[in-house]
Amino acid sequence: MPELRKDPILGRWVIISVERGKRPKDFPPVIHKKKGGFCPFCPGNEYTTPAEIIAFRPEGSEPNGPGWSLRVMPNKFPALEPGGKITKSGEGIFDKMSGVGVHEVIVENPDHFLSLSTMPEKSVEDTLWAYFIRLTELKNDPRIKYVLIFKNEGEAAGASLEHSHSQIIGLPIVPRTVRDELQGARNHFDMKERCIFCDIIYQELAEGKRIIGENEDYVALSPFAPRSPFETWILPKNHEAAFGPRQKSFKPLAEMLQRILKQFDALLESPPYNYIIHTAPFSEEQSEYFHWHIEIMPKLTKFAGFEWGSGIYINPTPPEEAARFMKGTF
Amino acid sequence: MPELRKDPILGRWVIISVERGKRPKDFPPVIHKKKGGFCPFCPGNEYTTPAEIIAFRPEGSEPNGPGWSLRVMPNKFPALEPGGKITKSGEGIFDKMSGVGVHEVIVENPDHFLSLSTMPEKSVEDTLWAYFIRLTELKNDPRIKYVLIFKNEGEAAGASLEHSHSQIIGLPIVPRTVRDELQGARNHFDMKERCIFCDIIYQELAEGKRIIGENEDYVALSPFAPRSPFETWILPKNHEAAFGPRQKSFKPLAEMLQRILKQFDALLESPPYNYIIHTAPFSEEQSEYFHWHIEIMPKLTKFAGFEWGSGIYINPTPPEEAARFMKGTF
């Protein structure tokens, strides 16, 4: 008998096939080899992208030329546009707003053929720093209410260029998914005076069966009600609402993130994936009830009419099983 | 400048690229040719599926053998299982429920190579009758709280078998998407004593720019805040909360649905698509605030990290433009 499970934060149900759980080798590998060819993110082609916002490069090397180890620039085809004022208007029953915002790209390493799982750990650490630097900087733009940091790896997961990169979108609204998560966390806090994420971490560490690994600062786990097989979350063990370094370092987080991605590669033949940094909106960075974390989802199943119509996800791999496979390297 | 638009029912924002709107030919066609080969849904192979629940077949023809024009059977690999009681339990902070429910398949026509757009209109009409008959029957199962009726056409839209079919899933909960829609509609009714869908239809018919077509009973339109290019809704013009025939006939609805799917084929080279029947839960079938409708979404864009993290969809085709193309045949 399958099991319906509810995510305690969002109230989102998923259907877990408990008995005939799919194991890693049951998922057909998604071919996802990099072809190469002309790439605007490769060193030497800097002139084909908008001018860089920041770059990590040796002293003395020229902006917008080679030599960098990481580069952040505006997206050439942005979803939202940075120039202009936010205008809000109605159209009878409908509401709209000008699409003001920022859309940036972070090229994590100059090598076209590396991915976040195969590049030097230092590049992953630098990537997290770049996220933090841009997040902090974008706080100064009063038009931006929320900054979404995410990565699409592989074409099937929505990456339109194969050179590994992350994206940052600064939005003039706090998006619905974030609001729902905040609201769920607030409801729990109102009832219990406790952070729901802290409660989850406490229970998961005590039970152990969905824990993938931990270090001094972070824990990686398979959530109780995952939308997709091998969905993995990384959370700071101590309560923190907003994404940032611990004790001025991103090394422990980079190490854990890369270990998880390497384990995906080993188990699932370098699957396409998405990850998203869930952080508090600027106005709630000191929140007692929200707890930042990273949600990573390999793209192994299709979402179709049922998911669209119900918001319920069908997941053929129980998280207890996924955790057992994932904890291999820890 | 792109435009942020809000769906008035769900409060869901989308980003519409107003200026560089993508036209039908800008979407690379998704190859979606049927290969044939052994098919459990083809006549003669009835023995390979679970026994039929209902079938439209000439008098005297034997159940579970050829001769049928439409066939409904349990899904061989159901997401939920019909036997057993609903048991609900907790696991510390987490909640779960046994996965009791029904999962049925409707094979709309015996011909393997036809799709809903190319089969005789009578088959489309019969399909709508089959939806209604099963929906009505499943009301008698007290464990079922909601019945989701949907169709995935084409592999990219999640169809695992190429012989055209629809699916019915009876759920032991009212799913989140339906609850959100009900809540949005209820909020509007509480403020205005009017159905929000009726209000939308009124405004859209008055303005005309997002109307695709209408007949005496139904209107087809591009919604103001569509998630995907060429998303199309069909709504009954008169207020009705629950899916059903008008004046004992599904002919006008079948005619309109097929016309829209034919126009997708013509404009977008037979794209994969999903559609979902949004109907009121059994307990609210007389609701003054909910209004049943069909939402049809061709699969032309990818949903990735941004959509997962924000719940905001990026749509490169303004609905006014989509409606202009879609109204071609009306």
- Percent of chain A whose pLDDT exceeds 70: 98
Which residue in chain A is spatially nearest to B296 when comparing CA positions? A305
B24-329 CATH pick, 2.60.40.1220, 3.90.226.10, 3.30.428.10, 3.30.70.20 = 3.30.428.10
Per-residue model confidence (pLDDT) at position B21: 73
Query: B15–A310: do the CB atoms touch at under 8 Å?
Result: no
Minimal C-alpha gap between A250 and chain B (Å): 22
Mean pLDDT for chain A overall: 95
Contacts of B81 in chain A (CB under 8 A): 1-2
Buried b (16+ CB within 10 A) or exposed e, B137-156: ebeeeebbbbbbbbbbbbbb
**For every one of its 330 residues, what pLDDT tens digit does chain A have, with 9 covering 90 and above?**
899 999 999 999 999 987 667 888 888 887 667 888 999 999 999 999 999 999 999 998 999 999 999 999 999 999 999 888 899 999 999 999 999 999 999 999 999 999 999 999 999 999 999 999 999 999 999 999 999 999 999 999 999 899 999 999 999 999 999 999 999 999 999 999 999 999 999 999 999 999 999 999 999 999 999 999 999 999 999 999 999 999 999 999 999 999 999 999 999 999 999 999 999 999 999 999 999 999 999 999 888 999 999 999 999 999 999 999 999 767
Q: Mention every residue, 6+ apart, whose C-beta is less than 8 A from residue A309.
A: B148, B150, B175, B177, B178, B276, B277, B278
Q: Which of residues 96-155 of B touch A (CB under 8 A)?
A: 96-100, 148, 150-152
Transcribe A121-185 into DSSP letters. HHHHHHHHHHHHHHHHHHTT-TT--EEEEEEEESGGGT-SSSS-EEEEEEESS--HHHHHHHHHH
Q: Which pLDDT tens digit goes with each residue over B127-181?
A: 999 999 999 999 999 999 999 999 999 999 999 899 999 999 999 999 999 999 9
Minimal C-alpha gap between B241 and chain A (Å): 16
What is the rounded distance in angstroms from the CA atom of residue B286 to the CA atom of residue B241? 6
Buried b (16+ CB within 10 A) or exposed e, A57-76: beeeeeeeeeebbbbbbbbe
Indicate if the pLDDT at residue B217 is higher than 70. yes
Q: Which pLDDT tens digit goes with each residue over A266-306?
A: 999 999 999 999 999 999 999 999 999 999 999 998 889 99
Nearest to B300 by CA among B330, B269, B276, B255: B269
- Percent of chain B whose pLDDT exceeds 90: 88
H or E segment and range at residue A102: strand A102-107
What is the rounded distance in angstroms from the CA atom of residue B314 to the CA atom of residue B229? 9
Q: Mention every residue, 6+ apart, whose C-beta is less than 8 A from residue A36.
A: A112, A113
In degrees rounded to 5, what are phi and psi of residue B315? Answer: -120, 115
What is the rounded distance in angstroms from the CA atom of residue B172 to the CA atom of residue B222? 32
What is the rounded distance in angstroms from the CA atom of residue A196 to the CA atom of residue B166? 39
Nearest to B210 by CA among B200, B196, B218, B197: B200
DSSP character for B61?
A: P
DSSP character for B248?
A: T
Mean pLDDT for chain B overall: 95
Q: How many CB atoms sit inside 10 A of residue A42's CB?
A: 17
Nearest to A16 by CA among A230, A181, A260: A230
Which residue in chain B is spatially nearest to A83 when comparing CA positions? B1
H or E segment and range at residue A98: strand A94-98
Query: A81–B8: do the CB atoms touch at under 8 Å?
Result: no
Per-residue model confidence (pLDDT) at position B121: 98
* pLDDT-derived band at B23, boundaries 50, 70, 90: confident
Q: Where are the domains of chain A?
A: 3-329
Q: Which of residues 299-328 of B touch A (CB under 8 A)?
A: 302-306, 308-312, 314
Contacts of B2 in chain A (CB under 8 A): 79-81, 99
Per-residue model confidence (pLDDT) at position A19: 66
Using CA atoms, how far residue A238 sits from A201, A210, A217, A293, B52, in Å, is 10, 19, 7, 11, 56
Query: A3–B312: do the CB atoms touch at under 8 Å?
Result: no
Contacts of B309 in chain A (CB under 8 A): 148, 150, 175, 177-178, 276-278
Q: Which pLDDT tens digit goes with each residue over B243-261?
A: 999 999 999 999 999 999 9
Q: Which of residues 229-268 of A touch B (CB under 8 A)?
A: none
In degrees rounded to 5, what are phi and psi of residue B302? Answer: -100, 145
CATH class of the domain whose range is A3-329:
alpha beta
Query: B305–A152: do the CB atoms touch at under 8 Å?
Result: yes
Widest Cα–Cα separation across chain A: 64
Q: A interface mutation test: which of B306, B307, B313, B315 has the most A CBs within 10 A? A: B306
Q: How many CB atoms sit inside 10 A of residue A248's CB?
A: 7
Q: Which of residues 41-60 of B touch A (CB under 8 A)?
A: none
Contacts of A180 in chain B (CB under 8 A): 311
Q: Which of residues 10-29 of B touch A (CB under 8 A)?
A: 11-13, 15-16
Pairing, β B293-298 against β B3-6? unpaired
What is the rounded distance in angstroms from the CA atom of residue B133 to the CA atom of residue B86? 24
Rounded to two decimals, what is the model's pTM? 0.95
First to last CA, chain B: 32
Q: Which pLDDT tens digit goes with each residue over A25-39?
A: 888 887 667 888 999
Does residue A169 sit at the B interface (CB-CB below 8 Å)? Answer: yes
A142-145 long-range contacts, Cβ below 8 Å, gap at least 24?
A143/A85, A143/A86, A143/A100, A143/A101, A143/A172, A144/A101, A144/A102, A144/A170, A144/A171, A144/A172, A144/A282, A145/A171, A145/A172, A145/A173, A145/A174, A145/A281, A145/A282, A145/A283
Residues of A labelled as active-site residues? 165
Which residue in chain B is spatially nearest to A81 when comparing CA positions? B1
Q: Mention every residue, 6+ apart, whose C-beta is less than 8 A from residue B72.
A: B52, B53, B54, B55, B104, B105, B106, B107, B130, B134, B168
In degrees rounded to 5, what are phi and psi of residue A196? Answer: -65, -35
Per-residue model confidence (pLDDT) at position A35: 87
Indicate if the pLDDT at residue B26 is higher than 90. no
Of B167, B177, B309, the CB nearest to A148: B309
